[in-house]
Amino acid sequence: MVANNHKSIRIGIFGASGYAGQDLVELLTGHPQVSLVFATSNTYAGQPVPGTALHFIPQGEAAFDSVDAVFLALPHKASAPVVAQALGAGVKVIDLSADLRLETADAYQQWYKVPHPHPELLPVPYGLPEITRDKLHGIDVVAVPGCYPTATLLGLYPLLQTHALAEHAPIIVDAKSGVSGAGREPKPANHFVEVFGNFSPYSPGRTHRHVGEMEQEIARLNGQTGPLIFTPHLLPVDRGLMASIYVTLNDDFHSSQAQSLYEELYGQEPLVQVLPPGQQATLKHVIRQNTCVISLTPVTDHYLHITSVTDNLRKGAASQAIQNFNLMFNLPETTALL
């Protein structure tokens, strides 16, 4: 197997038939510097990869020496061994699983209830470019953030970074995700009849695995916040994610200052859009878009409501992975994304 363009960066995608994998294939086939060499899928091995001349191969047949980088859209625990293999073969890794997101094996054990399969890999740079860009240029391996953390952290970042939150006040996030966020494997919870006309919370309180990831990154930016109270819900749509965030501001920061703070911080960010005052972020703003869109509502002097939306398969997964890839290869960050 040889890349079809000697100028290209040769890449492979693991888990390419899942929903994030499908969007990776679609976006990467439009990337001018990329040559897609293989796409693995144990379930669909032998079938054509849509929009390409390739066929899915079983994971075991992937040849690391045929590529320069791999995107891993695999389940947690299954991803880390492939990370280790790829790095060992000198191949760069963009990992969309949860395996590299937490800094320590202990944290992983706490939230994922299994020992980390490759603790020696940790820690790895956390690939949320709008926040951690300075650590991402030219690196060899990156942990792509989860879908809920992406929308939530981008929604909170300007307040965290400027220490505008009241100390110890809780951060409340009422979140909603389309069904693709739960993966492509058929389960009772994603049966059409169960979801149609329904809306349901799951993993409430502080039990969802993304809580650990979000609190880790919040703490890195600002040590004084209160607990994260996080309730995800399943929305009867295929894609799209909303984080509805409620925060308490400290005495030094008035809710009316938020709009200009966000506009300033995100003014140069091509993939984050802050809506003008009075407009509300909706799923339609981001479906099949690579951006995160944010709207702000000052509620009282010191209470602020923030709505942050993404397409969970794009800025919440595939397009953020490509944004990281571009940084790792020193390409313009939004290549294939704008």
Tell me which residues touch its own copies (CB under 8 A): 19, 170, 172, 174, 176, 178-180, 184, 186-188, 190-202, 204-206, 227, 229, 231, 233, 235-240, 242, 244, 246, 248, 280-284, 287-288, 295, 297-300, 303, 305, 307
Q: Closer to its own copies by CB, 139 or 172: give it.
A: 172
Beta-bridge partners for 39: 13
- For the CB of residue 202, give the shortest distance to its own copies in the complex, in Å: 7
Q: From the CB of 286, what's the least distance to its own copies, in Å?
A: 11
Residue 234 C-beta: closest distance to its own copies, Å: 9
Conformation bin of residue 305: beta by default, left when phi > 0, alpha when psi is -120 to 50: beta
CB-neighbour burial class of residue 178 (10 A; exposed 0-12, middle 13-18, buried 19+) = buried
Q: Are 200 and 222 in contact (CB under 8 A)?
A: no
Residue 316, SS3 per DSSP: helix
List the catalytic residue out of 36, 96, 141, 147. 147
Beta bridge partners of 273: 293
Q: Which of 177, 209, 179, 204 is nearest to 191 (CA)?
A: 179
The span from the CA of 153 to the CA of 133, in Å, is 14
The gap between the terminal CA atoms of the chain, to the nearest Å, is: 30
Cβ neighbours for 46, distance < 8 A, ≥ 6 positions apart: 55, 56
Which of the 8 DSSP states describes residue 85? H
Residue 231 vs 320, nearer CB to its own copies: 231
For its own copies, give the closer residue by CB, 103 or 238: 238
Closest approach of its own copies to the CB of residue 120, in Å: 34
Q: Name which of 40 and 295 has its Cβ closer to its own copies.
A: 295
Check if 292 is active-site: no
Report the distance separating Cα 161 and Cα 10, nearest Å: 37
When the beta carbons of 117 and 226 are compared against its own copies, the nearer one is: 226
Which letter does DSSP use for residue 165 in this model? B
Q: How far is the CB of 118 from its own copies (least distance, A)?
A: 31
Active site residues: 147
